[in-house]
Amino acid sequence: MTVEEAFQPDVSRLGSPAWGGFDPSRTAGRGWPDIRRSFATAVRLGWQMEANWTDPILFFIYSVAKPLASALILVVMLEVISGGSRPDYRAFVVIGSALWSFVQSGVSGLAWMILDDRERYRMLKYVYVSPSDFMAVVFGRGVARIGVGAMGALITIAVGVVLLGVPFDVARIDWGLFLGVMVVGVGAILAIGLMLAAICMQTRQESWSYPEAVSGALFLVSGVVFPLAVLPAPVQAVGLLTPLTWWIEGIRRALFPGGVSSIGGPGSLFTELTGAAEPGPLTIAVVLLATGAVATLAAVAVFRASDRRAKDRGLLDQTTGS
Amino acid sequence: MSTTTRNAFVYRPTASPQAAANWTPRQVLMTNLRTVIGRAYPRVRGLARERSWVFFEILLPFLATSAFVYVYRALGAPPQYIGFVVLGGAMTAFWLNVIWMMAQQLWWEKSQGNLELYFAAPMHIMAVLFGMAFGGFVMSSTRAAAVLIIATTLYGVSFSIDQWALLLAVFFLTLGALYGLGMMLASLFLMWGREAWHLTQLLIEPVYFVSGLNFPVGRLGVLGSVAISLLPLAVGLDAMRQLAFADAAYPAGTPSPLVEAGILCVMVAVFVGLSRWTLAVLERRARQEGRLSVRWQ
C-alpha cells in the first residue's frame, strides 16, 4: 500500500464552515498520525535517495566497503605491531570501527539532509512550508542513512567473526544490556546529528565537511579503537561526558563480555575516580541514559533556536553556491 | 568598446567574422593560460576568504591522524610508526582534494549549472582541469603542511633524511600523478549523476587501506604490490616513508625509492594522457546523450 493510498482526506470537511468564516482548528492537523506519516514518507524518500542510484549489488558493496576498509586498516596496524598476539584487541578494534559506521551515518545523515535539500536540490523551503512536521522529516531522512550504516556495521562484525577470528558466542550475549544500550545510543546519535543539522541550517555550503570533522573529534575521545587510558586526563574527561563512549562500551560488553574495556583499566581517569577496574553494566546504562538525555534536550533546544533564526534571517531558501 | 580597452585576447583587426573566429596560436595559448589562472584563483583566494575552510580542512585530517597515532601508542609501536601515520595523514589532504575537488568537480559544476558555461566558453576544458589542479594543490599544501608541522611537534616525530632531492622529486611526482588521476576521474564523472557522489565516498577508506596509509604497504603482500602499480598514493607514500625515515628499520617487500620514482613518472604520463583522451571521448558522448546540462539526477 502506498502512502498516497493510505491517506484519504475527508473532502466534505475541506470547505468553509457553515458560518462562512475561518476555523483555525483546521490548521492544527491530526497530531501524531500526521507526524508518523511524515516520518514514514521521509524514511522512504531517504532510503530511495540513498539506494536507487545503482543496482542492489553495487549498493551493497558500497555500503560495506567503507566500514570494512576502516576495520581492516586497524586490523593490519594491529598485526604489524603485535604479530597476531592480541586477539582481544582485534575484537576491540573490529567492533569499534563497525559501530562507528552507525555514528558517521547518523551524524552526517541529518546534517547532509539540510545541505542536500537546500543547496543541491533546492527543496528545503518547499519541505518546510508543507504540512509535515519539519523535525519529523529531518529525522526520517536521517534514519534512512542510519539503515545504510547499520548494514555496514553488521557485515563488518560478521567478517570480523568469520574471517578475522573475533571470538563471538551467541549464548554469552547480554540481550537486555544490548537492546537497552542500542536504543538509547541510537537516540543519542540522532541527537548529535540533529544538533549538526541545526548548525548547518545557519552555515554555508562549505559545511559539508562539518559532520566529518565532528565525528572525527568524537572518534578520538570515544574509545572507539583504543582505550581512553592512553589519552591525557582532560581529554579522557571529555570522552566520559560523551554518550557515544558509553554506548560503544555497552555494546562491547553486551556482545563480547570479558573483552578489553575502553573506559576503565590501568591509568584511566575512570579507575582513578571510582576505584573500579571498569564500569559495570548498570553504570554503563545509567551514565548512557544521563548523557544521552542531556544531548537530546540540548539538540532539541538548539534545533528549535536554529529553526527560529533561519526563518528570521531567510536562511531556509538561501542557496550559498560557491 | 573604445580602442584603448582592446587587447590581443579579445580583439584584432580582421577582414571578416570568419577570419576573426580563426584564433592565432598565441591567442589560444594565452586564453588557456588565463583559464588556468582563472580557475585556480577562487581556490587560492578562498583560503583567505573562507576561514572556516582553514579550520575544518586542517582539523579534520589532524584528528583522524591523531586517532591512529594513539592506536599505535596503545599498542606500544616503535616511534617510526607514529611518523608513518603523520606522513600518511599529511598526504590524505591531497587525496581528499583530488577526489572531492577534482574528480567530483565537473559533476558538481553540472549540479550548479556552470558546466554548460565552461563548454560554451572559448577555452580548452583541459585548461580548466589544470587550473583546478593547481588551485587544489596550493589549497591542500597548506593543509598538509599544517598537519605535518602540528603532528610532528605534538607527537615528537623525528625524520632522518639522506636524499633530499629524491624525496622532493618523489613528492612532486606523487602530486603530479595524483592530480593526473583526478583529472581522469573528473572526465569519467561527466557521465554520471548521483553515482559520482557515492563513488567518491567509495574512494576514501578502501583506498586508504590498500595504499597503506597508516602502515607499510608491503605488509599487504600481493594486494600491496597491485596498489603500488596502480595507485599514486600507495607508491608515493611508500617511497617517501623510505626516504624520510632512512635510519629506521623498514619492512622489505617494496621497490626502492628510485624505482618507485620511475613508476610515478609513468603514472604522471599515463594519467594525464588518459585524462585528455577520456575527456574528449566522454564529452562527445555526454553531448550526444544530453548529459552535460542534466542536473540532480
pLDDT for the residue numbered B97:
85
Residue B60 has pLDDT above 90, yes or no: no
- Which three cell numbers, joined as nine digits, stand for A32? 501524531
Q: Which residue has the cell 576503565?
A: A264
Averaged pLDDT of chain A: 87
- Which three cell numbers, joined as nine digits, stand for A194? 540533529
Cβ–Cβ < 8 Å for B148, B154? no
Give the pLDDT confidence of A219-245 residue by residue, as tens digits.
999 999 999 999 999 999 999 999 999
pLDDT for the residue numbered A188:
95
Choose between B1 and B44: higher pLDDT. B44
pLDDT for the residue numbered B1:
44
Q: Which residues does B57 contact at the CB level (< 8 Å), separation at least 6?
A: A209, B93, B139, B142, B143
pLDDT for the residue numbered B259:
95
Sort out which chain B residues have CB atoms less than 8 A from A75's CB and list them.
Answer: none
Q: What predicted TM-score, i.e. pTM, was given to this entire model?
A: 0.83
A263 three-class SS = coil
Choose between A28 and A151: higher pLDDT. A151
Q: What count of other Cβ atoms lies within 10 Å of the Cβ of residue B196?
A: 24
Give the pLDDT confidence of B78-98 residue by residue, as tens digits.
888 999 999 999 998 899 888
A49, A72, A81: residue with CB nearest B209: A72
Tell if the CB–CB gap between B201 and A120 is shorter than 8 Å.
Answer: no
Residue range B9-38: mean pLDDT, rounded: 82
Residue B108 has pLDDT above 90, yes or no: no
Q: What span, in angstroms and rounded, lies between the C-alpha atoms of A283 and A22?
A: 55
Sort out which chain A residues have CB atoms less than 8 A from B111's CB and list them.
Answer: 120
What residues 192-221 of chain B have any CB closer than 8 A to a CB of chain A? 193-195, 198-199, 201-202, 204-206, 208-209, 213-216, 219-220
- Nearest CA to A135 out of A185, A190, A189 is that of A190
A129 three-class SS = helix
pLDDT for the residue numbered B297:
59
Angle at A104 between CA A319 and CA A187, to 5 degrees: 95
pLDDT for the residue numbered A6:
60
Residue B189 has pLDDT above 80, yes or no: no
Domain boundaries, chain A: 54-313
A82, A207, A225: residue with CB nearest B67: A225
Residue range B262-271: mean pLDDT, rounded: 95
A120 pLDDT tier (thresholds 50, 70, 90): confident
- Give the mutation candidate from B49, B60, B189 for the A interface (greatest A CB count, under 10 A): B60
Give the pLDDT confidence of B21-30 residue by residue, as tens digits.
788 888 889 9
ipTM above 0.90, yes or no: no
Tell if the CB–CB gap between A53 and B68 is shorter than 8 Å.
Answer: no
Give the pLDDT confidence of A54-106 residue by residue, as tens digits.
788 888 888 888 889 989 999 999 888 888 777 788 889 999 999 998 898 88
Among A63-77, A132-146, A163-177, B184-198, which stretch is predicted with the lowest mean pLDDT? B184-198
Q: Which residue has the cell 576505584?
A: A275
| Residue B252 forms contact with A (CB below 8 Å) | no
Sort out which chain A residues have CB atoms less than 8 A from B59's CB and list them.
Answer: 213, 216-217
| Residue A176 forms contact with B (CB below 8 Å) | no
B109 three-class SS = helix
Give the pLDDT confidence of B126-148 residue by residue, as tens digits.
898 889 889 988 888 988 998 89
Q: What span, in angstroms and rounded, lies between the C-alpha atoms of B263 and A139?
A: 49
SS3 content of chain B, % helix, strand, coil (to 5): 75, 0, 25
Tell if the CB–CB gap between A81 and B213 is shorter than 8 Å.
Answer: no
The minimum CA-CA distance between B17 and chain A, rounded to whole Å, is 36
Sort out which chain B residues have CB atoms less than 8 A from A209's CB and list them.
Answer: 56-57, 60
A193 pLDDT tier (thresholds 50, 70, 90): very high
Residue B2 has pLDDT above 50, yes or no: no
Q: Express as a percent the part of chain A with pLDDT over 70.
A: 91
Check residue B99 and report its DSSP letter. Answer: I
A82, A121, A210: residue with CB nearest B75: A82
A65, A76, A210: residue with CB nearest B202: A65
A62, A121, A210: residue with CB nearest B56: A210
Among A15-29, A43-57, A63-77, which stretch is predicted with the lowest mean pLDDT? A15-29
Specify which residues B160 forms β-bridges with: B245
